[in-house]
Amino acid sequence: MEEIEKQIKTKYDRNYKLLLIIPAILLILSLVYLFNFYQKNNDIIRKDVSLSGGTTITVNTDQDIDEVREKMSSYLGDFSIRKISDLRTRRQIALVIDSPSSVEETKNAIESSLNIKLNNQNSSTEFTGPSLGTSFYKQLLIAILIAFILMSLVVFVTFRSFIPSLAVILSAFADITMSLALVNLLGIKLSAAGIIAFLMLIGYSVDTDIMLTSRALKSRNEKLNKRLFSAFKTGTTMTITSIAAVITALLITRNLSNILNQIFTILAIGLGFDLLNTWLTNAGIIKWYCDKRRIE
């Protein structure tokens, strides 16, 4: 085991600067994609009706979702549909239809497609005005920006050194940027819950980065490579455990709650990128910094 660790450390010593190229390319591609996405959509995300404004109607029905989608496509140009299933039996118990159209227009389309009359017993309706959705969206973005700024200040105060602090912040920024690009590529329309998931991701992103940086800079009882490798074992265990828990929760709540499903999906994606950015980006920059400063 010790021989394997020694070989890994030796190879890492030789190639850690080259390994920085991988996350750098991914970050550049993500930024280019998001820039093009913004040019086309005038925003960096796809928003659902809770953020853009529109109608959400939940209908208690077991009719096949694909058949309903096909029928509704002739009545509504833009809409999304998902099913809700019973947690125990996995049997479909309802359909949720989101549309930017008015309540009346959406109701008429559903009634025609499902051949039923909607009422308070078999359905529930929510409507979000465009101005309210836009205002809520801006407030969430401000909250994320403030959280990121405060996180950055805490990191700078903790380490009091520009390069190590910048490495932690860069890794967190890369996690969010790459995750956002992939979410857009997957065509996911973000709700308020999705935005909050990115807020949570800031906290998940910096914990292993701070642990890594603290061990590399503040603990001098062991050689630098040994400290980095020890931090790697601890950090990957933390992150992989979190990913396993999130994926398990995602599988359990799939088709049960769109809110939980979106939160767990974003966290799973973000934690996956966090492994890359912490142990290639942050670790590489920290090792480079320590070598330059002759910190062993």
Over the stretch 173-190, which tens digit does the pLDDT of each residue have?
A: 999 999 999 999 998 888
Q: Do 37 and 114 sit in the same domain of this protein?
A: no
pLDDT at 267 over 60: yes
Q: Do 107 and 230 sit in the same domain of this protein?
A: no
Average pLDDT value for residue range 216-229: 78
pLDDT digits (tens, 9 = 90+) for 122-155: 888 888 777 766 787 888 888 888 988 988 898 8
pLDDT at 216 over 70: yes
Place of tokens 């801006």: 138
Q: To the nearest whole percent, how much of the chain has pLDDT over 70?
A: 93
Between 200 and 8, residue with greater pLDDT: 200
Q: Is residue 13 a contact partner of residue 225, using CB atoms and an 8 Å limit?
A: yes
Q: Do 138 and 241 sit in the same domain of this protein?
A: yes
pLDDT at 222 over 80: no
Q: Do 141 and 41 sit in the same domain of this protein?
A: yes
Between 77 and 8, residue with greater pLDDT: 77
Q: Do 109 and 199 sit in the same domain of this protein?
A: no
Domain boundary pick from 78, 108, 128:
128
**Residue 5: predicted pLDDT:** 59
| Residue 25: CATH number of its domain | 1.20.1640.10
Q: Do 270 and 177 sit in the same domain of this protein?
A: yes
pLDDT range class, residue 4, cuts 50, 70, 90: low
Q: Do 110 and 227 sit in the same domain of this protein?
A: no
pLDDT at 48 over 60: yes
pLDDT at 220 over 70: no
Q: Do 142 and 110 sit in the same domain of this protein?
A: no
What ranges in the chain are assigned the alpha helix state H?
2-19, 21-41, 49-52, 65-72, 103-114, 130-159, 162-185, 192-218, 224-253, 258-276, 283-292
Domain boundary pick from 128, 149, 182:
128
User: What is the domain count for the chain?
Assistant: 2
Q: Do 227 and 259 sit in the same domain of this protein?
A: yes
Q: Do 61 and 43 sit in the same domain of this protein?
A: no
Distance, CA of 165 to CA of 126 (rounded, Å): 45
Residue ranges making up the domain that contains 163: 2-47+131-292
Between 87 and 69, residue with greater pLDDT: 69
pLDDT digits (tens, 9 = 90+) for 161-174: 888 899 999 999 99
Domain boundary pick from 81, 107, 128:
128
Q: How many CB atoms lie within 10 A of CB 86?
A: 12
Q: Do 96 and 144 sit in the same domain of this protein?
A: no
| Residue 63: CATH number of its domain | 3.30.70.330
Q: Do 9 and 112 sit in the same domain of this protein?
A: no
Distance, CA of 263 to CA of 74 (rounded, Å): 32
